[in-house]
Structure 1
Amino acid sequence: MSKQADLPLLGQDEACCAPMVREPLGEADAAELSRMFKALSDPIRLRLLSLIASHEGGEACVCDLTDPFDVSQPTISHHLKVLREAGLVGSERRGTWVYYWVLPEALGRLSALLETPGVPAKASA
């Protein structure tokens, strides 16, 4: 069973952070969100998050996450640890393997922060 199903999704009104266009970030929110963005700034970690999120059932075994990359298994494990410590993925050991799933509330926080409701898109000069 996917761990994603057990986690509540935050509605727009329940998100912790208002979009930046409505009010400035507080210090604590900025520190936490910057850890998430920093974790996602690495191409391997961004791809790992995408692979996990798109994996059948919403979770992936670490054994399924090593082949798409030209790096060692310990390197993949390091990147997964960074994603976990940033609060972007959850994990659970099952026997020999560790399974990972995306934490939807974390992605919701990032998405809510970047929303620009009611702000018309400006044409490029």
Structure 2
Amino acid sequence: MKKFLLFIVSFVFIFGISFFQINTFADCSYDGGLSSSLDSCFQNSKLVKADDLRVDKGLQEKLLTWKNRLAFYLGIAAVFSIAFSGFIMTISAGNEEKINKAKTVFNWSIAGFLIIVLGATIITVIVKLFYSI
């Protein structure tokens, strides 16, 4: 179980780190206009291009795209862990310890999958509410 948990954490970390770049610091100053301030703020940023930060929908689209990617990769990890628990149960050959291990992996996988779906929904609602104000 520890090796499997280490594998899942490593998988999430490796794919999670691919969403961010280290060099994302920017010099920001407010000059009276929000759009021009954002343009100067993210002008040299490799993470977000200034053209993608339109005040109306650009940042919203970026946030939702990142959320969708993260939910997709975590969902794949949850499905693989559900399949892995089924595999453990299949090869357990009546061994109660392995059956209990498979049940535990299955329960945590389902819980993780539900948390992923619920978290993605909450993030979507918050972003959409923020941009509807």
| TM-score, normalization by structure 1 | 0.28
Report the structure, 1 or 2, having the larger helix content: 2
Which of structures 1 and 2 has the bigger CA Rg?
2
Report the structure, 1 or 2, having the larger strand content: 1
| TM-score, normalization by structure 2 | 0.27
Q: Which has the higher contact order (CA 8 A, sep 6+)?
A: 1
